Amino acid sequence: MVVPLVGVQEVRAKGKRVEGIAALVGGASAGPGVTVILRSDVVLRAAIEAARSGPEAGASPELRAASLDTLVGEALIEREANRVHLAAPSTAAIRAEVLRFEASVGGAAALEKVLKSIGADRDEVRAMATRRALVGAFLRANLEGTVVVTDAQVQSAYRDGRHPFGDRSEEEAREPLRRWLMQQALDVAVARWIRVLGARTTTVRMMEIAGETPAGP
């Protein structure tokens, strides 16, 4: 779990899987006001991402590195959402994120297998889903309506050919391609948000991805 506003000893006292700190967001050491990303957070996110490729897929160092980047980005946005006092996500919004995690690996039973394989539990998934729901609400509040893809842009993109809809006619591909282009634009906007927030927030990465060992406390 990503743990805001607590120190490492407090996390240990709660009996969670703590195998070292992967990163700190908001300060150079764990403490009040600092978000602690645990190594187990990275392992869990990477395991879920790997499971999308099949039950036998393993989490490569590259996937763990990408998972750490994702968690740091989410922590940055979560901190900004809290700074502007965005309302906490509803139970329904959190449940929707849990269902997305389940669907991404092939269902609830498949997710249980992933959790069992790394010694994680449903509480960690719910914590991850809660953070994702808050991050999603923040992004919708700040980006919704800012990305518009015109018919001319769709037509140009289709004829350019650099898209996943080459097996469809231009008419059949129009709306799926529009959504795809909008998602691409949103991804760029989110990355920009993360860069801006990261530039003004102290972030310390302690996890040596290749060896899966923490370099810090």
Q: pLDDT tens for residues 8-37?
A: 333 333 334 547 999 999 999 999 999 999
Please count the other Cβ atoms lying within 10 Å of the Cβ belonging to residue 136. Answer: 18
d(CA 198, CA 169): 42
Share of the chain above pLDDT 90, in %: 76
pLDDT in tens, 110-128: 999 999 999 999 999 999 9
* pLDDT tier at 1, thresholds 50, 70, 90: low
The domain spans of the chain are 2-144+181-214
pLDDT in tens, 121-152: 999 999 999 999 999 999 999 987 778 899 99
d(CA 109, CA 151): 42
How confident is the model at residue 170, as a pLDDT?
A: 94
Report the candidate in 6, 138, 141, 146 with the shortest Cα–Cα distance to residue 80: 138
**Topology, domain 2-144+181-214:** Triger factor/SurA peptide-binding fold (1.10.4030)
